[in-house]
Amino acid sequence: MKNKEKIIIVTGGTGQLGRVIVRYLAEEGNKLYVPSQSLEKFRKIFDNSQHGEKFKLSKIYSFNCDASNLESVKDFYSSVMELEKGKLDVLINTVGGIHPPVNIIDSDDEIFDNMINLNLRSAYYFSKEASGIMKKNSYGRIISISSIASLKVSPKLYYYSMTKNAVNILMNTLSAELKEFNVMCNTIIPGTIDTPSNRDWGTEEEIKKWVTPDSIAKIIQNLISEDFDNVHSSEIKVLGKL
């Protein structure tokens, strides 16, 4: 039996992980909104008729948005809230990226700024806006995708590790600030995810052990279900087959 329809925002929903999460949650009967800088790309990804698949109507929608720009994020929320009459059940932050390996002394401000914008600023802006809505409604779930690199020292990956660690702290802080309003915040901390871009460098044996996007989508579905209403401030490690 499907759960009652939830209104869900998925940032990075056109990405290699995000699109799997969006499709999975849509198939579970939910209504999805995906911020996108390219509506053409959004349509190509989520229009089944483009891929010769059997057509199936899914409730997946998009508005143009730059996730690293506060005004753009606010405009996105305004568009969604106008349609949904102020209702928002779930926010899932999947926007993220990694930089080429570089020692701190050899790096420049461009890498620093890119990682702040991509990994932290997007999660911060979207979570902050969602928090106000969810607090008002006395209900909400916020889940962010972090990385195992956020929990350890990773030489030559400082900026990636630092910004992902900041996401962990963001989720735990919001969880503490919002739990009395029935808003739960959790972080999924995966190892290497089995995506097409990662397969470009992984060996066959390595890939067998990686975390699948489907497994992350299923964990998210559990976290937003009524059975997990008392789970908050959790950092859920998903490390694949060890």
Residue 205 within a domain = yes
CATH number for the domain that contains residue 176: 3.40.50.720
pTM score, whole prediction: 0.92
Q: Is residue 227 part of a domain?
A: yes
pLDDT of residue 198: 83
How open is the CA angle 75-80-84, to the nearest 5 degrees? 145
Question: How much is the average pLDDT of 153-174?
Answer: 96
Cβ contact 218:175 at 8 Å: no
Average pLDDT value for residue range 27-37: 95
Instruction: Tell me the C-alpha distance between 160 and 50, whole Å.
Output: 35
DSSP 67: T
Domain span at residue 201? 7-238
Average pLDDT, the chain: 91
Q: State how far the Cα of 67 lies from the Cα of 10, in Å rounded to an integer.
A: 11
Specify the pLDDT at position 57. Answer: 66
Residue type, 123: A
Please check the confidence at residue 1 and state whether its pLDDT lies above 50: no
158 within a domain of the structure (yes/no): yes
Query: pLDDT tier at 240 (50, 70, 90 boundaries)?
Result: confident
pLDDT band per the 50, 70, 90 thresholds, residue 55: low
What is the tens place of the pLDDT at every residue in 190-225? 998 888 888 787 788 888 888 999 999 999 999 998
Determine the pLDDT at residue 242: 64
Task: Specify the pLDDT at position 171.
Answer: 96
Q: What share of the chain is helix, strand, coil (3-state, %, to 5)?
A: 50, 15, 35
**Within a domain: residue 11?**
yes
Q: Answer whether residue 99 is part of any domain.
A: yes
In a domain, 2, yes or no: no
1 inside domain? no
Confidence of residue 48 (pLDDT cuts 50, 70, 90): low
Residue 151 lies in a domain: yes
Indicate the number of domains in the chain. 1
Residue range 107-130: mean pLDDT, rounded:
96
Question: Which of 90-104, 131-145, 221-235 is predicted least confidently?
Answer: 221-235
Give me the pLDDT at residue 49, please: 55
Q: Residue 162: what are its φ and ψ, rounded to 5°?
A: -65, -45
Sorted by sequence, the CB contacts under 8 Å of residue 102 that are 6+ apart come out as 111, 156
Residues 141-153: tens digit of each pLDDT: 999 999 999 999 9
The pLDDT of 213-242, averaged and rounded, is 85
